[in-house]
Amino acid sequence: MDAPIEEFRYHADPAALEDVKVRLERTIFPDEVTAEPWRYGPPVNYMREFIRHWLEAYDGSAQEARLNAFRQFATQIGEHRIHFIHEEGRGPSPMPLVLTHGWPGSIVELLKIIPLLTDPAAHGGDAADAFTVIAPSIPGYGFSSRPARTGTSVFAVADIWTELMSRLGYSRFGLQGGDWGSWISATTALRHPERVIGLHLNYVSTRFRPALGAGDPPPTVEEQAYLDRAAKWMEAEGAYIAIQATKPLTLAYALTDSPVGLAAWYVEKFRSWSDCRSEPDEILTKDEMITDIMVHWLTGTAHSAMRFYSESREHPLHLAAGERITPPCGIVRLPRELPMPPRSWAERAFNVVHWSSLPRGGHFAAWEVPDLLAEDIRDFFRPLRATR
């Protein structure tokens, strides 16, 4: 018998909020050398202002109310307590769509786009394009439980998502994601293709490599240039992957004990991966960033979220020679995204039927340009609605 699906609301523990305040007030800031701002990480002056805003201007109650305005639930699937948003679409025949977040994000990064997808007519779109959105928290992130042992890989989560959709009564559904959301969505389509209407991705990882068999053509000049570019990016920016994929517990002592340490670790990514020119505030407000940080801090999930990298390293998503992800796939490219492959490389692994580009945006597409991403998602799924 399936575990019950229970309504969920989050209310922060006042004692935990007071503890954060005390820790922020007692922050010991590092020294720094004179250098180009952000070259070695978030500048001290920036972080001082970030913490001042956190202490003096951030309204946690308002952010909590914003989150709790969504219909949220939790249910037990195997050893995991899974939290998810479940918003019904407003239209003649809403399509079920699983949205999956990434790191260092959480469901917070999806809050802007969900209303655009569930009620397109209220935002200048067509009600016929409505989706019923299911947005789960990855195990170990935020309000889902923290795995107690190894093995919660992208493959395990793909199976959990599929079971969740069965429990909700959806036999077939669409998938969408960026960052880890793209990995989990792709793995779900690989393992359960008969359940998947279509797969929409706004990121294809630099570490995702289709196997090249004896009958496959070697990389083209364009594909090799991408592989070289990805390798250079890994050398310059991939240190976080190396430590989170090998020694996440070591880093977790700092990030679990210091809210400023956690903030700096995340803020650097918000800045480096978003479509900003100088500071992340140009794209994401301090309140938005702090809310995401607080979700990880107050739930004690900084370590378990990082561990998804070690799970990926130990259980990598590698396709065998000749193996492909068969459901229809749409891929959208953003100008400030991490290195993305050319279409020919993606087509070695995916059944690409939709390939597009947006005029602005970076790695956090649903957060940065929710209107543009929502429109692309609608465009991709529109011809697939008849195949449900």
For the chain, the 3-state helix, strand and coil shares in percent, each to the nearest 5, are 50, 15, 35
pLDDT attached to residue 210:
73
| Geometric angle at alpha carbon 310, from 305 and 311, rounded to 5° | 85
Judge whether 19 counts as a catalytic residue.
no
| Geometric angle at alpha carbon 54, from 53 and 58, rounded to 5° | 85
Q: Which DSSP letter does residue 139 get?
A: T
Judge whether 363 counts as a catalytic residue.
yes
Instruction: Report pLDDT digits (tens) over 362-374.
Output: 999 999 999 999 9
| Percentage of the chain modeled with pLDDT above 70 | 100
pLDDT attached to residue 319:
87
pLDDT attached to residue 318:
86
User: 129, 281, 309, 376: which is the annotated catalytic residue?
Assistant: 309
Question: Quick check: 360 pLDDT over 90?
Answer: yes
pLDDT attached to residue 82:
98
Residue 309's nearest CA partner among 382, 261, 239, 378 is 239
pLDDT attached to residue 320:
83
Rounded CA-CA distance 18/123 in Å is 39
Question: Quick check: 215 pLDDT over 90?
Answer: no
Q: How confident is the model at residue 57 (pLDDT cuts 50, 70, 90)?
A: very high
Q: How confident is the model at residue 75 (pLDDT cuts 50, 70, 90)?
A: very high
Residue 99's nearest CA partner among 141, 71, 137, 130 is 137
Mean pLDDT on 134-150: 97
Mean pLDDT on 123-147: 97
Judge whether 179 counts as a catalytic residue.
yes
- Mean pLDDT, rounded, of the chain: 96
Rounded CA-CA distance 295/247 in Å is 23
Question: Quick check: 165 pLDDT over 80?
Answer: yes
Walk me through the domains of the chain, giving residue ranges and CATH numbers: 6-387 (3.40.50.1820)
Question: Quick check: 83 pLDDT over 90?
Answer: yes
211 or 361: whose pLDDT is higher?
361
Residues 6+ apart with CB under 8 A from 118: 87, 88, 89, 90, 94, 130, 131, 132, 133
User: 86, 101, 200, 363: which is the annotated catalytic residue?
Assistant: 363
User: 119, 129, 179, 281: which is the annotated catalytic residue?
Assistant: 179
Q: Which two tokens stand for residue 239?
A: 């240190």
Question: Quick check: 1 pLDDT over 80?
Answer: no
Mean pLDDT on 84-108: 98
